[in-house]
Amino acid sequence: MKLCYVTDRQALSGPRSEDCRTLLERIREAGEAGIDWIQVRERDLAARELADLVRAALGRLPGSSLLIVNDRVDIALATGAGGVHLGERSLSARDVKRFVSARNVDERFRVGVSTHSLASALEAEQARADYVFFGPVFPTPSKAAYGAPQGLERLREVCRQIALPVVAIGGITTENASACLRAGAAGIAAIRLFQEARNLTELVGQLRNSEQS
């Protein structure tokens, strides 16, 4: 099971002037706890600020963790990040893969896409994305703009219909994570689950154990 922490530094506690430092500490903790992917999703930062944040985060992560930049292909490549995550309205995964290939980037560089329907998941697969996020599976404030939750049955349908790894997102908890895996998901992604955890090592252990249930 892949575990992905999606960042949101503005939701972290602490002085506003220290939000990046607080986030970097959380990223370090996430990597040490064994979270597989860290997706830096800080849309309000200017390009230079985001690049500085990504470089600093890379310096705090163990080699086993992959850092993925939300949407900004240029920054992902310039900083040596492990991948880029695209929205449904971002650049096409096909165009990004072509762009990356032309620059002889490490073949392990991943291109993922957020999807909210079977049609968009199929489109991402045809565009040769490496994985997709699908959701929101359960109710969650951060995904309310995408409408009602998709539910486990739609997640199951997407997992059956495409060969790509499907990562479930939206309202994921320790209680429902295993249901996503039983529906066919290759992993889970979350903001609050990881960001608000008091003990990330313990949380990761619970999630890994749920994989066996």
Q: How far apart are CA 44 and CA 47, in angstroms?
A: 9
Identify the pLDDT of residue 192. Answer: 94
Identify the pLDDT of residue 104. Answer: 85
Provide the percentage of residues in the chain whose pLDDT is more than 70. Answer: 94
Identify the pLDDT of residue 87. Answer: 93
Whether pLDDT at 111 is above 90 = yes
Can you give the C-alpha Rg of the chain in angstroms? 16
Q: How far apart are CA 163 and CA 212, in angstroms?
A: 22
Q: Which has the closest alpha carbon to 6: 174, 167, 180?
A: 167
Task: Tell me the one-letter amino acid at 28.
Answer: R
Mean pLDDT of 104-118: 94
Identify the pLDDT of residue 70. Answer: 98
The string of pLDDT tens digits covering residues 13-71 is: 666 557 899 999 999 999 999 999 999 999 999 999 999 999 999 999 998 999 999 99
Mean pLDDT of 107-124: 96
Distance, C-alpha 59 to centroid of its chain: 19
Q: How far apart are CA 154 and CA 170, in angstroms?
A: 13
Burial class (CB in 10 A: 0-12, 13-18, 19+), 26: buried
The string of pLDDT tens digits covering residues 79-108 is: 999 999 999 888 999 999 999 999 888 889
Q: Which domains does the chain have, with CATH numbers?
A: 2-210 (3.20.20.70)
Place 143 in a pLDDT band, splitting at 50, 70 and 90. low
